[in-house]
Amino acid sequence: MRVFITGGAGFVGCNLAQNRLDRGDVVTVFDNLSRPRTQHNLEWLQSLANSSRLHFVHDDVRNFEGLRDAVAAAQPDLIVHLAAQVAVTTSVRNPREDFEINALGTFNVLEAARAQSTPPAVFYASTNKVYGGMEDVVIVPGETRYAYQDFPNGIDENRPLDFHSPYGCSKGAGDQYVRDYARIYGMRTVVFRQSTIYGPRQFGVEDQGWLAHFIIATITGKPLTIYGDGKQVRDMLHVRDLISAYDHAWNSLEVAAGQVFNVGGGMANTISIWTETGPRLEKLAGRPIPVTYSEWRPGDQPVFISDNSKAARMLGWSPKVSLDEGVPEIWNWVAQHSDFFR
């Protein structure tokens, strides 16, 4: 199998590339290496496979001609489109760049695929941010976390789209383009509205990858700021489970094509971002972790929990990696690679 991964040197991309290389696949990593430390991930991948099965293209999804030519040379069976501008705050500061990377970049991926004599399948990493702030959803406060009053299984794909922030608009535009190329052109596209992904090789920063950021800051002794009161709840999906969702969709492509799937940790893997995460990290650190608090950030959802029922029903997929397994794993990876972060 031939797999083409945009953003393939990023956190999810390099884990996916490793997974496919381990199976003997031919993998093309397409990345501009603009995010800090992605070079480390690329070098790690290059140490795992010989050049006959791993190909690296240093280019940008905004460059349509370069992308189209790279896809034509790779002749992939599957494109997994992960390249993105990933932070709401960055999108607010520079909405044009956010649009060009996320919306135009996704359009370019689709057109590069459509230009092939046999278009490859396209998987798109969307986001739960396409559902907006969900201000109409009743939130119940608890001692350590917020909860939905009326959604015991979380939010499903029938939730109306409501793009907030330039980031929400650009990712949402990509989401809908990918979906529509299945309807209009008959392409085999699948949208994954992903929740909070975490795992090894995640170089989290304050604006994105919050669990990794907290762990990195704790291990390296850097200051931590909690925005809001720390009771915001997220469902955590380990990167291995996300890759498993992609596998299940590929293996069921005849039913998955043209579909949108929420993929998150679900109710079983929920945690509040500091009132419950903090004690876990303090136990791993063996000491208290000082933090400062600041105002809520615009568009921050008090709760997001993905209802994975559609993916379970249509793909036979469900998360397997628990927080008890996954959190110590990423802690240990950061501790073993602390030189990356100093």
Catalytic site residues?
167
Give the β-pairing of 233-238 and 146-148.
Answer: unpaired
Residues composing the chain: 342
- Please give the Cα distance from 197 to 291 (Å, whole number): 23
Q: CB of 241 within 8 A of CB of 156?
A: no
According to DSSP, the residues that pair with 330 across neighbouring strands are none
> What's the start-to-end Cα distance of the chain, in Å?
39
Q: CB of 94 within 8 A of CB of 17?
A: no
- Please give the Cα distance from 155 to 147 (Å, whole number): 12
Give 339's contacts (C-beta < 8 A, 6+ positions apart).
none
According to DSSP, the residues that pair with 50 across neighbouring strands are none
